[in-house]
Amino acid sequence: MARPRFLPDNFTLMLIVTVVLASFLPAHGEGEVAFNLLTNVAIAALFFLHGAKLSREAVLAGATHWRLHLLVFASTFVVFPIVGVALKPVLSWMVTPELYLGILFLCTLPATVQSAIAFTSIARGNVPAAVCSASASSLFGIFITPVLVGLIVVHHDGNGGASPFDSIGNIMLQLLVPFIAGQLSRKAIGKWVERNRGLLKVVDQGSILLVVYTAFSEAVNTGLWHQIPPLALLGLLGCCAVILALMLAITTYSARWLGFSREDEITIVFCGSKKSLASGIPMAKVLFATGPLGAIVLPLMLFHQMQLMVCAVLAQRYANRQRAAQGAQAGKGAKLAKSTPGKAATDANPGKSDSKSANAGAGR
């Protein structure tokens, strides 16, 4: 039986179940310690496997398109944070201060990898460039995101606390070191990882579910759902929708204004308007180890699901336009051939025409 279209995907359902489970059965005491340790191991394994999987050839294939990559990087790490800060006077009244810190945090994150590439492929965009931009964004985000958090999130956090600049070392130890180890091990285990992509998917999704469960367990233990009014959750959905709509518009019209092709525009839109849940939640765990982690990651979770649903529709629209344009071009060619049959016949059989010309010339 076909899956009902109104149902979300399996991973979204698992995220919802995890949040509900953590809300009613949060981890306590030794159980919380065990889940934190398991989560750290899963995150390290995730970045190790991504390092072993990442193809250097695929990245180099699109690395020369520097104008496209520069625009994607500017959108991800410059325009996004500016939008988050600029909209604070307009949107902050809709949510709690902790939730808006989460909004600012998601604005500092790198782009997605898998979904950005997948949507670019569906929409018939520049896939090699998408592989390069999304992968580089994820890698450089390990360094850039902590700096942006220190400049933006801490500056807007009235509670003060330790600067996330101090957490760069922890980020490198927990995320970058396993990634580099995976890259160095690629020759030995790269083919095995490619053959067992299901394992990477399990580790990828499993690590996110573990972080979500531990984060919300801690948040529930400190009274998260008592601190966030229902209207604030509705306001958060509105904030995420406004930011996503703005970034989709900015990336689309910037690509057109700068004269990029339709294929490059598609890549810029899907790589420059998306934020990574897979990278963001592990980073949040390190950067906000002593902060309101549940409230910090909640905007990212909502934004991530919203961007997937909106970009899925957008990718289909791009693909339909491409098919319509190709169909119109084919129809125009057929109509031209029908209106000039003699020319079409000559074009189809040039040898016959040449033969007639030669005979005429011989007769003269």
What pLDDT, in 10s, does the model give residues 73-108?
Answer: 999 999 999 999 999 998 989 998 888 999 999 999
Give the pLDDT score at 321.
85
Better pLDDT: 173 or 203: 203
What is the rounded distance in angstroms from the CA atom of residue 68 to the CA atom of residue 87?
Answer: 26
The whole-number average pLDDT for the span 223-242 is 84
Residue 164 has pLDDT above 50, yes or no: no
What pLDDT does 265 receive? 93
- Rounded mean pLDDT of 223-229? 71
pLDDT tens digits for 247-268? Answer: 999 999 999 999 999 999 999 9
pLDDT at 246: 96
**8 A C-beta contact, residue 263 and residue 197:** no
Helix axes 262-272 and 114-122, enclosed angle (nearest 10): 150
Per-residue pLDDT at 64: 66
pLDDT range class, residue 236, cuts 50, 70, 90: very high
pLDDT given for residue 363 in this prediction = 41
Tell me, what's the pLDDT at 339?
Answer: 66
The string over 284-320, giving b where at least 16 C-beta atoms fall within 10 Å of a residue's C-beta and e elsewhere, is bbbbbeebbbbbbbbbbbbbbbebbebbeebbeebbe
Contacts of 202 (CB under 8 A, 6+ apart): none
Closest CA to 75 of 44, 33, 109: 109
Any residues with CB less than 8 A from the CB of 201 and at least 6 apart, and which?
A: none
C-alpha to C-alpha distances, 79 to 25, 40, 254, 314, 363, nearest whole angstrom: 39, 31, 12, 21, 75
> pLDDT higher for 4 or 299?
299
pLDDT of residue 360: 44
pLDDT given for residue 245 in this prediction: 96
Determine the Cα–Cα distance for residues 250 and 80; give it in Å rounded to an integer. 10
Distance CA 19, CA 25 (A): 10
CA 54 from chain center: how many Å? Answer: 16
Q: Is the pLDDT of residue 161 over 60?
A: no
Kindly give the residue spans of alpha helices, DSSP state H, lying in 25-96.
29-53, 56-62, 66-74, 80-86, 88-91
Residue 104 is predicted with a pLDDT of 93
- Tens of pLDDT, residue by residue over 191-220, are 888 788 777 778 777 877 787 787 778 767
Q: Which two tokens stand for residue 186?
A: 């690629």
Give the CA radius of gyration of the chain.
26
Contacts of 113 (CB under 8 A, 6+ apart): 134, 135, 137, 138, 276, 278
Spell out the alpha helix ranges (H) of 185-287: 186-195, 197-221, 224-227, 230-257, 262-272, 277-287
- Which of 105-138 are b and which e, b meaning 16 or more Cβ less than 10 Å from the residue's Cβ? bbbbbbbbbebbbbbbbbbbbbbbbbbbbbbbbb
d(CA 145, CA 237): 23
pLDDT of residue 40: 79
Average pLDDT over residues 169-177: 67
